[in-house]
Chains A and B, each alone.
Chain A
Amino acid sequence: MYSFRELQKACKKEAGGKEIRLAVLGNCATQFFSQAVKGYGRLSGLNLTVFDADYNQIATQLLNPSSEVYGFGADKILIWLCTEKIYEEYLAEEVSLRNAFAETYMQKIQHYWDLIENNSKAQILQMNFFEIDDKALGNYSSKMDFTFIYQIRKLNYLLAEAEAKNGKVYPVDALSLQLNLGRDFFFDAALYYHAKMSVSMDALPYLAKAVIDVVNAMNGKIKKCVILDLDNTLWGGIIGDDGMGGIEIGEYGKGHVFTNLQRWIKQLKDCGIILAVCSKNEADIAREPFEKHEEMILRLADISIFVANWNDKASNIKMIQESLNIGMDSIVFLDDNPVERNLVKEKCPDIEVPELPKDPALWLDFLQRKNYFETASYTGSGSDRTKLYQREFERKSHQQSFETIDDYLQNLMMEGRAKAFEPVKYPRIAQLTQRTNQFNLRTVRYTEDDIKRLAEDKGFITLYYTLKDKFGDYGLVSVVILKKTSEKDLFVDTWLMSCRVFKRGMEEFVMNHVVQTAKENGFETISSQYIPTKKNQMVKDIYEAMGFNRDGENLFHLDLDTFKTAKTYIKEADSDE
């Protein structure tokens, strides 16, 4: 972990890319915290600007529409209410009112959220609460509703409940950090009493990391896949030598360690993370435990891509990455062997390769604390993805039996469908805007609330596209948001597409439909823009390829009369299904 001084110095480091403006509001002094967050952000390559409000000015700042915080134009506002201060407020309360403390306090926080929502478009990062146990009644405190420990725990619970109902609020789980690192490490009494800072300088880098993890996830920087080694990683021993009866897995001894690791990995899969296997093994032997070993938690159905051969792992991993069509930086590779890890890291520098401790018993805790799987949305549809990727493999092998790509595409019997945004799809659409990095022309990230607003705004035409073929349903694969800039012209605010369907004729299908829609609504031109990022090079020329004229470096327009319908094998599905 960086030291606080390193983070302070990093604040001066230049960073490119889109600027992120974060305002920090606290009931305690937050200057050092803000520096730590800014420094951590810069070290992670974020062009982060932080505004640090004077302490204890939360209500004043939020109530006044022309306050410094709103004037700063924050796109994210972080609220940090430190428990030391809350404890003092609690003690100032009449004893008879203390059992309602958490509820009253939660109303105050809700009020802050409402004010932010009314006065700005900023997303909210809300820190939860460290615990202080004042042992007023010893251990007995924890069951008496008027004690502080009871109320602060209740407040954490009420906060989580309220956040679950509010799509604009993103939690920063400070409590879990305090639990991991300990109160002694977190709290520096001299710092608190002298400078009103409630977190020690040694702990600030950890807190800053948590904030930056959340910000990165909000910007779509997330892990999507875990690639697993097998021997001595998923089970103890070597399946080729020790055989089915010899490998360690189950409830006893070292086997228990691997069972619990598998349970956690299975949960990741249920949360939408893709699992792949990459092992130096004979394929049949490597598969056998997944098919027949009674104690195995992970089964073949959980694994999207299973690669067991004697090729070098870096090549296998590149192959897996290309098949999944995701960025190398969204993959975590787990392997017990340091030599393999180094080789992979050297050939694929962007992949995340945890330096697992020597003792496998320590791995689970180690991996959990790394917090690789931060996310800013959850739709619950993730578990279907494994099947999708397995089908993708079938398609790939199917492809090999055709002479030309046209034969292949025709044979897929693809059907596409376009619809205007509808409420049931808002979460998935928002998620796509947050997660899609490659086929994304302007990379504008939207929250669920934003999507709802756009869908209801008469100044916009919103469209989403689904695709299916004879192997299965891809679901929602493309999103288009068109802004009416005049009676004649539509501007493409957003066009993104899931890379799983790239080069199938879907981009042509979407553009044909967009042009047709524009014509039906009486428009004459479509204007568009490509905003380059590190990851969306693949679409830099797509507008020209579709017949648009280039107006500036990355600006384009299309006269609808000149548009020639693009060739595609995707048929429009009947609209009433």
Chain B
Amino acid sequence: MNRKEVLEKMAEICKDVFEDESLIITEELSAADVEDWDSLAHMSLVNELGKTFGVTFTLEEVAECTRIGDLLDALMNHLSLTQ
């Protein structure tokens, strides 16, 4: 899966977790831009991403990825290691 495909899949998951179909998901989007992206929703998002892509995020990634792009970087990193 390339970066663009992963981002598209991520977008679906974000819309589900934040319960907003109209969200436009870009790499720049951050917790500050989305009303429902609070710390609980963040954990829910991380969990859904982990399950969907079959990876386990480290504590540091969980704590420090506050932008979609950060999460995408972390995901791509995990995915490249498992291939």
Interchain nearest-CB distance for A110 vs B (Å)? 33
Which A172-193 residues sit within 8 Å CB-CB of chain B? 188-191, 193
Knowing A4-B47, A5-B16, A8-B44 touch, does A190 contact B58 (C-beta < 8 A)? Answer: yes
Interface stretch (choices A141-149, A194-202, A233-241, A357-365): A194-202
Answer yes or no: A32 CB below 8 A from chain B CBs: yes
Q: Which of A32, A190, A202 contacts B40 (CB 8 A)?
A: A32
A189–B62 Cα gap in the complex (Å)? Answer: 11
Answer yes or no: B37 CB below 8 A from chain A CBs: no
Chain A residue at minimal CB-CB distance from B39:
A195
Q: How many residues on A have C-beta within 8 angstroms of the other chain's C-beta atoms?
A: 15
Q: Which of B47, B48, B59 contacts A193 (CB 8 A)?
A: B59
Which A8-23 residues sit within 8 Å CB-CB of chain B? 8
Interchain nearest-CB distance for B59 vs A (Å)? 5
Knowing A190-B57, A190-B58, A190-B62 touch, does A195 contact B43 (C-beta < 8 A)? Answer: yes
Answer yes or no: A31 CB below 8 A from chain B CBs: yes
Chain B residue at minimal CB-CB distance from A32:
B40
Please name all residues of chain A whose beta carbon is closer than 8 Å to the beta carbon of B62 when the two chains form the complex: 190, 194
Interchain nearest-CB distance for A571 vs B (Å)? 66
Interface string of A246-262 (1 = CB under 8 A from B): 00000000000000000
Please name all residues of chain B whose beta carbon is closer than 8 Å to the beta carbon of A189 when the two chains form the complex: 59
Interface string of B16-46 (1 = CB under 8 A from A): 1100000000000000000000011001101
**A195, B48: Cβ atoms closer than 8 Å:** no
A32–B56 Cα gap in the complex (Å)? Answer: 19
Knowing A5-B16, A189-B59 touch, does A194 contact B48 (C-beta < 8 A)? Answer: no
Answer yes or no: B6 CB below 8 A from chain A CBs: no
**A32, B43: Cβ atoms closer than 8 Å:** yes
Chain A residue at minimal CB-CB distance from B51:
A202
Please name all residues of chain A whose beta carbon is closer than 8 Å to the beta carbon of B39 when the two chains form the complex: 195
Chain B residue at minimal CB-CB distance from A8:
B44
**A195, B40: Cβ atoms closer than 8 Å:** yes
Interchain nearest-CB distance for B1 vs A (Å)? 22
**A5, B43: Cβ atoms closer than 8 Å:** no
**A197, B43: Cβ atoms closer than 8 Å:** yes
What is the predominant secondary structure among interface residues of chain A facing chain B? Answer: helix
In this complex, the interface size class of chain B, counting residues with CB under 8 Å from chain A, is 10 to 19
Please name all residues of chain A whose beta carbon is closer than 8 Å to the beta carbon of B16 when the two chains form the complex: 5
Chain B residue at minimal CB-CB distance from A29:
B40
A5–B17 Cα gap in the complex (Å)? Answer: 8
Chain A residue at minimal CB-CB distance from B19:
A9
Which B41-75 residues sit within 8 Å CB-CB of chain A? 43-44, 46-48, 51, 56-59, 62-63
Please name all residues of chain A whose beta carbon is closer than 8 Å to the beta carbon of B43 when the two chains form the complex: 32, 191, 194-195, 197, 201
A201–B39 Cα gap in the complex (Å)? Answer: 15
Chain A residue at minimal CB-CB distance from B46:
A190
Please name all residues of chain B whose beta carbon is closer than 8 Å to the beta carbon of A5 when the two chains form the complex: 16-17, 44, 48
Output the residue of B46, B56, B57 with the most chain A CB within 10 A: B46
A194–B39 Cα gap in the complex (Å)? Answer: 9
Interchain nearest-CB distance for A34 vs B (Å)? 11
Knowing A5-B16, A5-B48, A201-B47 touch, does A194 contact B40 (C-beta < 8 A)? Answer: no
A188–B58 Cα gap in the complex (Å)? Answer: 10
Please name all residues of chain A whose beta carbon is closer than 8 Å to the beta carbon of B44 when the two chains form the complex: 4-5, 8, 32, 201
Chain B residue at minimal CB-CB distance from A201:
B47
A201–B16 Cα gap in the complex (Å)? Answer: 16
Please name all residues of chain A whose beta carbon is closer than 8 Å to the beta carbon of B47 when the two chains form the complex: 4, 188, 191, 201-202
Please name all residues of chain B whose beta carbon is closer than 8 Å to the beta carbon of A8 when the two chains form the complex: 44
Please name all residues of chain A whose beta carbon is closer than 8 Å to the beta carbon of B40 when the two chains form the complex: 31-32, 195
Please name all residues of chain B whose beta carbon is closer than 8 Å to the beta carbon of A190 when the two chains form the complex: 46, 56-59, 62
Chain A residue at minimal CB-CB distance from B43:
A195
Chain B residue at minimal CB-CB distance from A31:
B40
22 contacts between A and B (CB under 8 A): A4-B44, A5-B17, A5-B44, A5-B48, A8-B44, A32-B43, A32-B44, A189-B59, A190-B56, A190-B57, A190-B58, A190-B62, A193-B59, A194-B43, A194-B59, A195-B39, A195-B40, A197-B43, A201-B43, A201-B44, A202-B47, A202-B51
Q: What are the 6 tightest A-B residue pairs by CB atom distance, in nearest-first order? A: A201-B47, A190-B59, A190-B62, A194-B62, A195-B43, A193-B59
Report which A residues bind B (CB closer than 8 A).
4-5, 8, 31-32, 188-191, 193-195, 197, 201-202
Given A190-B46, A190-B58, A194-B63; 19 other pairs, CB 8 A cutoff:
A4-B44, A4-B47, A8-B44, A32-B40, A32-B43, A32-B44, A189-B59, A190-B57, A190-B59, A190-B62, A191-B43, A194-B43, A194-B62, A195-B39, A195-B40, A197-B43, A201-B43, A201-B44, A202-B47
